[in-house]
Chains A and B, each alone.
Chain A
């Protein structure tokens, strides 16, 4: 199974709402990622989890709160978002670079994304 799944596919929320995005993989990968992608732009790295611990936070505002409850799941909790946060949110997973499963090229597998609209 080389699939990364994400739910929901689409999400519309108000600025006062609290919602969560979910990501799941069963490839045994111990690195998981959140990216934000605006229209016609490349994915921008937000967070990296390695062995269920946050290893990279690209100065993301605190209204985005990641969580990695186990090695297969990655959540992104959303609260008090702004309209400019509307984007496609992508999850990815890979083997851990330099970890127990050393991978020369830690190819990332991407999910289909959640299309988020903040009203």
Chain B
């Protein structure tokens, strides 16, 4: 079965700093990878997804990610964070043809104004 790990549990940044959150997956075949964000008191929203093709993925709200197959990773990036980016970020994986999605433990991002 597929699994995903996020190594950063809590990241604290100042506004305008650059962000990179790590996500590594474990699965023997092709995977679909997702980054979701959960703002305080709100529901999960999809930031971006990767299935195949261009390893550089653009998401919403200025987020992007790079898929590195050799490292089994899809790291989330943002060049300049804002206070409003304070949230919990979850990486998730499922296999094509499989409805079973697994989430990483999440990374809590705190952006100081």
> Is chain B found bound to chain A in the same assembly?
yes
Chain A residues near B (Cβ < 8 Å): 31, 33, 40-45, 48, 50, 55-56, 90, 92, 94, 96-98, 104-113
Shortest 10 CB-CB distances between A and B: which pairs? A42-B103, A98-B97, A110-B44, A112-B43, A105-B32, A105-B51, A97-B97, A97-B99, A48-B99, A42-B106
Chain B residues near A (Cβ < 8 Å): 32, 34, 36, 42-46, 49, 51-52, 88, 90, 94, 96-106, 108
Q: How far is the CB of A115 from chain B (nearest CB, A)?
A: 10
- Please, how many angstroms separate the alpha-carbon atoms of A31 and B77 in the complex? 30
**A45→B101 contact, CB < 8 A:** yes
- Please, how many angstroms separate the alpha-carbon atoms of A44 and B101 in the complex? 9
Q: Which residue of A lies closest to B105 (CB)?
A: A42
Which residues of A have CB within 8 Å of B46? Answer: 107, 109
- Please, how many angstroms separate the alpha-carbon atoms of A39 and B46 in the complex? 20
Which residues of A have CB within 8 Å of B105? Answer: 41-42
- Please, how many angstroms separate the alpha-carbon atoms of A106 and B96 in the complex? 8
**B98→A110 contact, CB < 8 A:** no
